[in-house]
Structure 1
């Protein structure tokens, strides 16, 4: 009942006052529909889905911020096996590799990998999704090093 009272007073504020159930015009119902579908999330303190996730981390892989953050995480956690700036070591060289796809790298970082006796642990429990995408951005940036074009 309170909702109907608020709705009715709100509609009267925009010139769509109600004079009983029988006299409500189709135009009023259109406004009610628009209000319920598009206006209510913002009135309730929520946001529409497109506003919440403007861009996903996968859409920002070439962002300098993403690459720098990924470089820091890589330096702190991955260089023991993958070497400084991915030059290789216990694991294969990551520089100048254009065979990596973002999805492959994200899945491998998240779930780990085993090749023979070499085991890369899964990082999904250690790093949040954003951090794993930052690592992907950094690793993909290693294929554009100046030494790759020589």
Structure 2
């Protein structure tokens, strides 16, 4: 009997979390206007790259490591021809590949910050690890 109660509680908790997440996303998603994509020069700007690194370390390093070489993906430094718009889209809208889930950060990270994170990720391409 207690297993049935636990399953009911778990199911109710899961529904409440899904509803809360959906409501928060709906409120936050419309809260900001997208920023026009920056040019290649802006994405190579050392100030943008450093600002993106700081935000990446705070928000993304838990899953991706400090230099994008952790987790269940190809290390960022192995991507030499990444499309900045694709990186921006995945950060903003998330992605699901089987059991691997990249959450959507739209509404939690400003579009301007997403572009700066994108600049940092692009800066890693082809570089050796800093710890080597």
TM-score of Structure 1 vs Structure 2, range by shorter chain: 0.5 to 0.7
Residue segments in structure 2 that go unaligned for 5+ positions in a row: 1-35
Task: Pick one of 74, 88, 91 that aligns with 1:92.
Answer: 74
Mapped to 1, the partners of 2:38 and 2:63 lie a distance apart of: 25
Partner of 1:136: 118
Partner of 2:9: none
* Bigger relative CO (Cα 8 Å, ≥ 6 apart): 2
Partner of 2:38: 58
Mapped to 2, the partners of 1:78 and 1:91 lie a distance apart of: 13
User: Retained in 2: the 8 A contact 1:81–1:91?
Assistant: no
User: Retained in 1: the 8 A contact 2:94–2:103?
Assistant: yes
Mapped to 1, the partners of 2:76 and 2:47 lie a distance apart of: 20
- Deviating beyond 3 angstroms after TM superposition, the runs of 4 or more aligned structure 1 residues are none
The TM-score, its normalising length taken from structure 2, stands at 0.64
The TM-score, its normalising length taken from structure 1, stands at 0.56
Note the alpha carbon deviations across 1:94-126, whole angstroms, 9 max, x for none. Answer: 123114111100111110011111111111111
Please show how residues 19-30 of structure 1 align to structure 2 within 5 Å: none
Quote the offset at 1:146 in angstroms. Answer: 4.0
Note the alpha carbon deviations across 1:61-92, whole angstroms, 9 max, x for none. Answer: 00001100000011011111111211122443
Pairs aligned (count):
92
Aligned: 1:123 with 2:119: no
CA RMSD of aligned residues (A): 1.6
Aligned: 1:69 with 2:85: no
User: Retained in 1: the 8 A contact 2:95–2:103?
Assistant: yes
Larger CA Rg, structure 1 vs 2: 1
Mapped to 2, the partners of 1:72 and 1:89 lie a distance apart of: 19
